[in-house]
Amino acid sequence: MPLDLRDARTLVTGASSGIGAATAEAFARRGSHLALMARREDRLAEVADRCIAAGAPDVQIVPADLADLDPLEQILDSTIDHMGGLDVLVNNAGTPMRRAVTALTPAEVERTMAVNYFAPVRLSLRALGGMLERGHGCIVNVSSVGGRIPILGEAAYCGSKAALCGFTETLAAELLGTGVEARLVLPGPVDTEIWEQPGQDDPFYDGELEPPSLVAEGIVAAVEGERIEHWLPDLEPVAQIKYSDLDGFIAGMAAAATDRHADAPKRPGTGDAAR
C-alpha cells in the first residue's frame, strides 16, 4: 500500500548535498517530518533550513559517518525515538571508488562496501522491526546503474551497488504482504560531488549529467507508487543489451577502454616517438 507522505516520518542518509539534499527537500514539499543524516553538520543545517522553508513540519539533524558501522544502530535508535517512529528510510549515502582493478587495494574495497552496502543493510535491518510492528513503512535503497551495468575503472563501486540490488530485491520478496515495502532506485550519471572526490582516478564517463532533482522526485514517486525498481534516467535498455550478450558487451567495454587509452594525450618522453 503506497504511503501518504504528509506527516510521514522520513530519514534520508547522505542528505548534506546532491541527491540526498534534493530528496530531503522533495519530501519536505510533501509535508514529511525529516531526519537528515550525513557527516557534515554545517551542510546539514543549511539543507534543514531549506526543508523547513519548503514545508517540512520539523527537521532533525543527525551527524554520522556511515563508514563507521558500529554506532549506526544506536544512532538510528536515538533518531527514531526522537521522531516517535519511522515510516520511510531512504538509504542514499554513497561513496565512489574509481580505481583500476590492477591498482585496487582490499582496504579501498572494504571501505566502499562499508558505506555503499553494509551501512544501508544495517540501517534497513534495524528500522525493519518497528515498521513490521506497525504494519507499514518503506525502505528505499539507492543503488546505481553501476549495480546492473559494469563501469570501467569502478569494480569496487559496481560490486557494492550490485550487492545492494540483490539485498533489496530479496527484501522486497520477503516483505510482500506485510505492509512494509522495499524500493530499489538506480540513478544514472547525476551532477553531484561524487565526480569530484579526492584520491580517485578520472571517470571513464564524460557525457551529460542529470540534475539531482530528477532522482529526488523519482525517489518520492517510488515511495508513493507500487513498482519496486526505478531507473533514473531510464537506462534499463542498456542493461538488457548486456543481459542478451554478456560476452559481446564485455568485449565492447574492452574495446572502448583501448580506444580511450589510444586517444589520451601522451606525456613527453612516452610513446613511439620516444623509442
Cis peptide leading into residue 233 (ω within 30°)? yes
* Strands of the 137-142 sheet, one edge to the other: 59-63, 33-38, 9-13, 88-91, 137-142, 180-187, 229-232
Candidate list 117, 157, 205, 243, residue with the active-site label: 157
Residue 231 is given by DSSP the state E
CA-closest candidate to residue 77, choices 123, 32, 114: 123
**Cβ(173)–Cβ(146) under 8 Å?**
no
Q: In the annotation, is 157 catalytic?
A: yes
Residue 102 is given by DSSP the state T
Q: One-letter amino acid identity for 246?
A: L
CA-closest candidate to residue 9, choices 72, 80, 68, 73: 80
**Cβ(44)–Cβ(21) under 8 Å?**
no
Q: How far apart are CA 40 and CA 139, in angstroms?
A: 23
For helices 119-134 and 155-175, angle between their N-to-C axes, nearest 10 degrees = 10
CA-closest candidate to residue 95, choices 21, 134, 39, 179: 39
- Which residues are identified as catalytic? 157
